[in-house]
Structure 1
Amino acid sequence: MAENTAQVSALARVQAYHERSKHRLGAYAAGPETLDWDAQPDPFRRFAGAPITSLPLKAADEAIGWNQLFEPGREAFPANLAQIGRLFECSFALSAWKELGPDRWALRVNPSSGNLHPTEVYLVAQGLPDLADGVYHYAPKEHALEQRAAFASPVTAPRLLVGFSSIHWREAWKYGERAFRYCQLDMGHAIGALRYAAALLGWRVRELGLGHGELAALMGLDRAADFQNAEGEEAESVFELCFDAANAPPLDPRAMLADACWFGQANRLDAHPMYRWPVIDAVAKASRRLTATPTATLPPLTRRTLLPGSTAQASQLIRQRRSAQRFDRSARTHTTALWPLLAALMPAGQLPWDMGDEYAQVHAVLFAHRVDGLAPGAYLLPRNTTARARLQTALPQLAWKPVEACPAELPLVELALNPALAGTLRTLSCHQAIGADAVFVIALLAELPTPESDAPWRYRERLREAGLIGQVLYLEAEAAGLRGTGIGCFFDDPVRELLGLGAPGTEAWQVLYHFSVGLPVLDARITSTPPYPEHRP
């Protein structure tokens, strides 16, 4: 009884946070009143005193085409330092340096809200021929591994884990109370970045069902002395990289950490923070998965339906991904490009939805603006059949008309036509032109946990799934010759009301993320230089 009471209390805090952190037409969620860009938190965490291993830069050697990435059965690369370098180069490394006047900043392969990058990445390695067993922190600026721990007992069979944490202050510095949402969306993008990079190597990915305490211990985030003068990190999740079709037994983190020797002291990112947002710590604590859950068995990897037409080098397409800053407001696309993009969102055991069975709880509302072959208006792509029935009950006033022109494997339905979407999309996306000028915008909709249905930690799962969908959209837009950008700033309840979700009984359905796709307009004033000028064999 006490456990159930605690869960309900935690869920109430999660629900209160989501309501509190909504943007409204009359007022934005609480955030800083001013920003000093010269005092932005350091975007790079380092651990002073930790041994460093440089990683090779070999992504350009990978010749597989983007359309080939979705064909199962490719031979897996061996697990060694060269492949780890390729994995991180195509997921979390720098992708370019940008310069405008006196300003210089780095871009990364994985996207982030405001290019703030709250996500930190860890590697746990055992049994590799050229890397000592232990825990490592990935340093993207150096493309190197910082050894945080050395394991005492060597293991012969190769095992690799990738862990994630969030530094909430990096986002809260700019976005205030809404930052926890953005950290979780970024987590979803990071998970997607890992899955696509692993696919380049022929590897599979599965999440380990560890509780929060085990996650923190495995990455050394519970070692208070190592973060004595630095911002702490919130343990998020750990994924295992699988090199063959067999599902090996999950690793026991307690056995791995026995007699480990730890190294390194975390650097401070912001010496003089101007604000505090205690509600972020409260929702983080309330939404933790405290106890372990069974690790999912990997489903068979299936061939994607409606393969993309792009034959571009997959590693190049992944590394060239950018967030669009402006769109050509006269550009159009066609349903021949849209259908494969929507097919990529369907969780049918295809990449990247082959990591378990929990990736079909977020659904796509398509606002088609300038898509030849599809009338302007709102459409719904329900990503599982059960949700379609619940959504139809929640939205009985809408058309629910099948879209006859789309392929049979896409359950797209017409909700309502609207030939004048531009102004509406701009208003709903916090008055941003990036919403009005896109060829289409997708709003991601999900049922949030309720006392009757779910646990509070599933709040994180829903946001992460929305971020993972965003990562798919980023790469599919690049493959289609377009460009995407995630929009975390939107007016929550006006979007729900536009869809007809303002009625009693529909409160669980919430919009979590907006994503726009269009033809980018590049800023010629900004120059670009390579991420790592030196060549590494």
Structure 2
Amino acid sequence: MPSLHLPSRFSSPSFPLINLTTTKRPISTTAITMSLSSSPSQSVSNNPNEPKDTENLIAQVLKYHNQTKHFFTNYARGPRGLDWANQPNPFRRYVSSPLLPLLHFPVENNQDSTSVSAPLYHSLFKSLPSPKPISKSSVSQLFYDSLALSAWKTTGFSTWSLRANPSSGNLHPTEAYIISPAIDSVCDSAFVAHYAPKEHSLELRAKIPDTFLPSFFPSNAFLIGVSSIFWREAWKYGERAFRYCNHDVGHAIAAISLAAAELGWDVKLLDGLGFKELEGLMGLGIYQGFRIPDKPIKGKFPEIEFEHPDCVLVVFPNGVNDFNVNYKELSSAIMEFGNLEWVGNPNSLSKEHACWDVIYVTAEAVKKPLKIDDKFLVDKFQNSGVCSEGSYTGLSAREIIRKRRSAVHMDGVTKIERDTFYQIMLHCLPSGCGSGEKQKRQLALPFRALSWDAEVHAVLFVHRVVGLSKGLYFLVRNEDHLEELKKVTRAEFKWEKPEGCPADLPLYELARGDCQQIAKQLSCHQDIASDGCFSLGMVAHFEPTLHSKGAWMYPRLFWETGVLGQVLYLEAHAVGISATGIGCFFDDPVHEILGLRGSNFQSLYHFTVGGPVLDKRIMSLPAYPGPSTDA
């Protein structure tokens, strides 16, 4: 029976075999000394649809990825300390844009007997309810259960907000827009609006032709645009911020998908659109003229607060699977948005800034061009597997979504049953269960929003699962990769299904042993990685995916990890425990534990799931105090 072994420097008596660099020496954070010069050297291209050297773009992505890895001996480059005086405002507002208030909803189903009960969380993975029409109420609910504030926290002299969608460092670089037909009591014509979470309101940016959406999409369909403000993350995390922004895009995609599912709506990426189309749809052409410096610099340059358009999602009634999208004609129609009257100017977020040039060079490299030949496919909804439905606490989707919190500490004691663990893993599968096909296509909630086959797997460190041996496991989310994974990982790994594992769950035991210490050390020495029930690293099929599809897949790999992370967050809360995303981990040591060489597979995101430790010094306040709320 193979067992995991680590060198004695990892202080784990049950592990001696994998020779990793020592962690005993002090870690020096190699922070950059930034020049106060602001002389630019590169211009942002205004035409990302121009042919570019694909290999050069991929080379830039690989350069960024390798440059921003954390190592035992040093971390990726970031600020030497936090510049609190210039902490970015977490709330974007468009000054002078009309503010359109949205409706609020009770969190508990029994709080208001006149309210329509939200569906149970776990029921959404089996089937979606009948679709609701577009209305002020349904659109309000979509945002309320996906991107709205979920609470305020306060301790001492500090007060901060939490949101339904999680974010690295609670910095929230993600912004959202709605492109919608006319809605009674909201706007009398089709429109584009920015979502303002602090006010739970829409900021009207422009009115658009009423014929736009019906020309390309089915009845009762609308669009949600997602963008990122890199500066918000870079303020704290430096060069690694681009990774974290794209994690957050994935979390937002999943949050929108699940909130839409409550309303009987399906969600799909319009991934044939290019950068310029996304920019036009969201009215982000106002951010022109940002020039990339040739080195990290500090200074006053408000243009760094621009929004990078990431993606657009089409939201439509579930069961409508027979429509296609003509990307060529859609692109032409979007180009006319430049002639609209756009209202409002973005607010300033900081007085001074620090620009990490490699973020913006890489963002240029991953801009996707318009793909007019892309096929827009809506597959039939595939339900997820059921192993232990009794593990769920019976809460509604809204209760789970809005009460979700990121655990700061795990108690090191809480255990879960094996069938509960298997149930969580079943909801992490992209293809669902019951079809008889292997895992590959993204057909189940919320992965079905994505437009590519699954490229992300999970290596699991199991600590406290009753009935399951402690050790290293692997969840294969695209079974086309299984044989390659067996060849490129350590020869001594077992690759055997664990006891009691459902037949349609491609989970494999690699090796047994107590892996708490190594999980902690791999995740930047954080106790949360060892004190939960299990932790994991999300390992993506990396360089081959970039070469087969393009550099633009780089952020999408992180989106997929964010979608998976959002499922883990909600699953943890649905079974009565908690979870936390971990962006800080030592990249190559994770690969060495698995025996991986080169860049065919790379770890992109870590997670931990377990019993949370609550900090009683922190007081919770309502997200939106009203007349009936005693804050």
Do they fold alike, i.e. is TM over 0.5? yes
Query: 1:508 matched to which residue of 2?
Result: 600
- Please give the per-residue CA displacement for 1:327-358, whole angstroms capped at 9, x wherever unaligned: 11122111121011000011112211222552
Q: 1:138 aligns with which of 191, 195, 219?
A: 195
Q: 2:549 aligns with which of 454, 460, 467?
A: 454
- Per the TM alignment, residue 302 of structure 1 is displaced from its structure 2 partner at its CA by 2.0
- Aligned-partner SS, 2:284: coil
Counterparts in 2 of 1:130-529, with a 5 A limit?
A: 130=185, 131=187, 132-153=189-210, 157-208=219-270, 209-224=272-287, 229=302, 231-247=305-321, 248-250=323-325, 252=330, 254-255=332-333, 257-258=336-337, 259-273=339-353, 275-292=354-371, 294-306=374-386, 308-309=389-390, 310=392, 311-348=394-431, 349-397=443-491, 398-419=493-514, 421-450=515-544, 452-502=547-597, 506-529=598-621
- Per the TM alignment, residue 192 of structure 1 is displaced from its structure 2 partner at its CA by 0.4
Query: 2:144 matched to which residue of 1?
Result: 89
Query: 2:8 matched to which residue of 1?
Result: none
Q: 1:72 aligns with which of 105, 127, 133?
A: 127
Q: 2:70 aligns with which of 17, 20, 23?
A: 23
Structure 1 residues 264 and 5: CA distance shift in structure 2, 3 A: closer
Instruction: State the distance in 2 between where 1:98 and 1:226 align.
Output: 38
Structure 1 residues 535 and 154: CA distance shift in structure 2, 3 A: farther
- Per the TM alignment, residue 393 of structure 1 is displaced from its structure 2 partner at its CA by 1.5
Query: 1:114 matched to which residue of 2?
Result: 169
Matched, 1:55 2:89: no
Contact 2:497 2:509 in 1 (8 A): yes
- Per the TM alignment, residue 63 of structure 1 is displaced from its structure 2 partner at its CA by 3.0
- Per the TM alignment, residue 422 of structure 1 is displaced from its structure 2 partner at its CA by 1.7
Structure 1 residues 73 and 269: CA distance shift in structure 2, 3 A: closer
Q: Which amino acid aligns with 1:219?
A: M
- Please give the per-residue CA displacement for 1:52-86, whole angstroms capped at 9, x wherever unaligned: 10000125443311122223252111111111110
Contact 2:182 2:191 in 1 (8 A): no
Contact 2:129 2:261 in 1 (8 A): no
- Per the TM alignment, residue 108 of structure 1 is displaced from its structure 2 partner at its CA by 0.3
- Aligned-partner SS, 1:507: coil
Q: Unaligned stretches of 5+ in structure 2? A: 1-48, 108-114, 291-300, 432-442
- Please give the per-residue CA displacement for 1:473-514, whole angstroms capped at 9, x wherever unaligned: 000000111100000000000111011113xxx422100000
Instruction: State the distance in 1 between where 2:450 and 2:549 align.
Output: 18
Instruction: State the distance in 1 between where 2:234 and 2:450 align.
Output: 31
- Aligned-partner SS, 2:509: strand
Contact 1:96 1:529 in 2 (8 A): yes
Which is higher, the Rg of structure 1 or of structure 2? 2
- Per the TM alignment, residue 452 of structure 1 is displaced from its structure 2 partner at its CA by 4.5
- Per the TM alignment, residue 205 of structure 1 is displaced from its structure 2 partner at its CA by 0.4
- Aligned-partner SS, 2:143: helix
- Alignment TM-score, normalising by the size of structure 2: 0.81
- Per the TM alignment, residue 222 of structure 1 is displaced from its structure 2 partner at its CA by 1.4
Aligned residues: 530
Structure 1 residues 5 and 154: CA distance shift in structure 2, 3 A: closer
Instruction: State the distance in 1 between where 2:237 and 2:91 align.
Output: 19
- Please give the per-residue CA displacement for 1:151-194, whole angstroms capped at 9, x wherever unaligned: 14556754310000000000000000000000011111000000
- Aligned-partner SS, 2:549: coil
Structure 1 residues 226 and 80: CA distance shift in structure 2, 3 A: farther
Give identity over the alignment, percent: 41
Q: Answer with 218-227 or 72-81: which moved more.
A: 218-227
Instruction: State the distance in 2 between where 1:152 and 1:360 align.
Output: 37
Q: Which amino acid aligns with 1:436?
A: S
Contact 2:268 2:313 in 1 (8 A): yes
Contact 1:226 1:265 in 2 (8 A): no
Q: Which amino acid aligns with 1:181?
A: R
Runs of 4+ deviating beyond 6 Å: 2-5, 225-228
Q: Unaligned stretches of 5+ in structure 1? A: none
Instruction: State the distance in 2 between where 1:203 and 1:532 align.
Output: 26
Q: Which amino acid aligns with 1:52?
A: L
- Per the TM alignment, residue 246 of structure 1 is displaced from its structure 2 partner at its CA by 2.0
Instruction: State the distance in 1 between where 2:78 and 2:490 align.
Output: 37
- Aligned-partner SS, 2:449: coil
